[in-house]
Structure 1
Amino acid sequence: MAADTPSQERQPLWFLLLLTLAVAGGAVAYVPFLTVLLPVRISELMGGEDVAALSYSTFAGAVIASLANIGFGWLSDRSGTRRGWILAGMIASGALLVCVGYATSLSQIIAIVMVWQMSLNMMLSPLLAWAGDCVPDEQKGLLGGLFALAPALGALSGAFVTFPGLADGQTRLVLVAAIVGVMIAPALVFGGGRRMPRLMEPADKLSQRAEAGKRQRKAIVGMWTARLLVQVSEAALFAFLLFWMRSITPDFGENRAANIFSVVLVVAVPIALVAGRWSDRHGRPMVPLAICAALSSLGLIAMALATTENSALAGYVLFGISSMTFLSLHSSQTLRVLPRPQHRARDLGFFNLTNTVPSLIIPGLTLALVPVAGFSALFVLLAALAAVACLLILFLARAR
């Protein structure tokens, strides 16, 4: 591969689309596997549904993923290249995905999943950092809007590979690995030479004054905390949407819950694109984030007050679209506040903890509130967290 060398002041749309396709390929690499294919494989191996076995493999994988994302980010920073790590991670994670189908015991599955998480994050960590190396601040809003395609395509890929009659268990794993390769390879092949010199300047050139460095640290802490607060709310609804809806409508089906979740993901895409493009044109990157956090809080309040199926769904749709838009735009705007390009991938690894920490928080939070005060109490607390995220973003916008 050609070395990544200096390029233009703005990136062409085709390159942004290839980056988006690659990031979506990263989502396809894990969403259908973790949500559908891994539970099915464990069920086949254990002779029935085994929640404990799935929990063990998921928890072990999440711990490894958190550490590997930081570690491989640091290695890609030190090596000065991204595409080689992305390619190696893509090949290794695809091969290990296929190996899951040949596992003959739970211990083998857990071991494979742990190594798979390492190779997956060898690919994912440098991928977002590469976007930070190449895409200027003036286009980060648009990039964030395009990133909204990733979770939508991840969910749709799960529906595609499990379509009745399309493929059996082992072939599904091969199919996922092949789709990921097709989605990521174009960016690797045609994306050389897109780095921008001004995005790679050392930290001492970017910030000469102590005051500027202090503001930068506050911005990083604020962005990290705001994302964590919204992610906690999003993770809670992802895990307990069906249970909550059944507390209002007892016969609410799994398929309806899946369909509603898919609709939210799809509708969030054009909204994120419009909001991101607006922020680029007006130079107001934090405004859409603050609005989305506020609307997420309002959606959660509506859910806490809901007494009918229609009012519950309306509240969830408002929350779901707003939170997904927030998370997509936040992913690209995070690249704006990280002060040290020479540590960009490593620092993004610490931001990635906001994706894994909520899975450790939500079970205890739910058990503490729902049995005693019901889902309404949980949603009020989550609404408060989203409101705090809004205030943090507004503070950052004012500080700028």
Structure 2
Amino acid sequence: MRSALYDRALELADIHQTPVFLFSSERLDRAVAEFAAFTARLPFPSEVYYSYKTNYLPALCEHLSLRGFGAEVTSPLEWDLATSMLTPSEIVVNGIGKQAGLLDTVLAGGTPRLINLETDTEIEHLTARGPAAHVVPVGLRVTIPEISGEAGRDPSLHRRRGVSKFGWSADGTPIIRAARRLAEHPAVRLGALHIHLGGQLVSAAVYRTAMLSICRLLERLRAAGVSIGSLDMGGGLASGWVDKRRVGPLFELLRVMGLPVRGRPQRAPDLDGIAEEFVRFAPRLRSLGIRQLLFEPGRFLAEPSLMAVASVIAVRHDGHRRHAVLDLGTNALHCWRPDETRPIYFESATGPAAASTRYELVGPLCHRSDTYGAITTPTPLQPGMKVCLDAVGAYSIGDWIANTWQRPPVVSLEDGTLLWDRQSSKQFWSLTSSPMGKPS
């Protein structure tokens, strides 16, 4: 369906050239309002910290900070960006790289809202400080054994695939020992459990499973003399803009047998159902000391905030197959996966209409993973035509820079303001040393 918003995106692409990303503050605000309505239905006071790693576009981060959202950071780079807009007390610190400089940076820069620990090494680093050091609030990252891996009956309900690489198992004894060690140190205040359940979550059932495990853990911690007052439920909620089909061992078996069955697509998270699960468990959680919830949404907020416009740079015929190659690949759109579908809008072709044509839409890397899947267009695609790819705000910009050494321009959809200028590979290399190690 023709959309004035897509037409506007194509107009801006004519001005700034492709590939280009378009930022919509209006759609971001709608996501903010929807998430705020969700937390308002919860039986506990809730704090929200936007996950910077999802999309660290400064305009987006600033937009959220002005609306009362804190920051969740995983690197010194993100910490520096967050502290330019927020106080340390408005920042939650996560990430597996804290020992690579982040932890010391945070300790020297103030007292954050929370540091979620996930390794014994991080505990050793914190407890090595003297008892007179300033008190640091910490949480323990917990993995739920019943919820691990990426496959399952739907995008939210996962089959068990072994121990998670992050945090301590909720069922094990190491987490009890870790909690005791932190609770006994005078310069550490253990007050939270951090439970990140995965990505593209849509079902309330996964939260029910998590709550059962969390309650058992809280009972064990209380018996060990450790009190916990907050649950940090992480992020991972689907944005509601992307169709994701169910995958799992049964679907894979049918595919191998030559009987492929397309799983039912799921898109919008069941926010009402998820809120009801918190209400259901609220009495038990309160009896175990829980008084507050934290959330770290990333894709839910960022995904609808960006569109991308690419150009068709080649159309290839291979027998009955047709490939349309774009100047923007899935290396830049990291979350574009084979079981996911996003809205796509094509620039109208000139000339007489023809029968609908099926194309395999691919990026410029010419690798089997650099594909958007098969699409059908009402008119043939031609080199130079523009394609608008919607809901690409999650993880796209960071992956583009990491894979191409280029920074795309980002333009405001609403007023056409250039928010982030294009950086070519030539400009990138001009800022580095020469091959001989001498300044260029």
Q: Do the structures match in fold with TM over 0.5? A: no
Which has a greater percent of strand? 2
Identify the structure with bigger relative contact order (alpha carbons < 8 Å, sequence gap 6+).
1
Structure possessing the higher radius of gyration over alpha carbons: 2
Normalization by structure 1: what TM-score?
A: 0.21
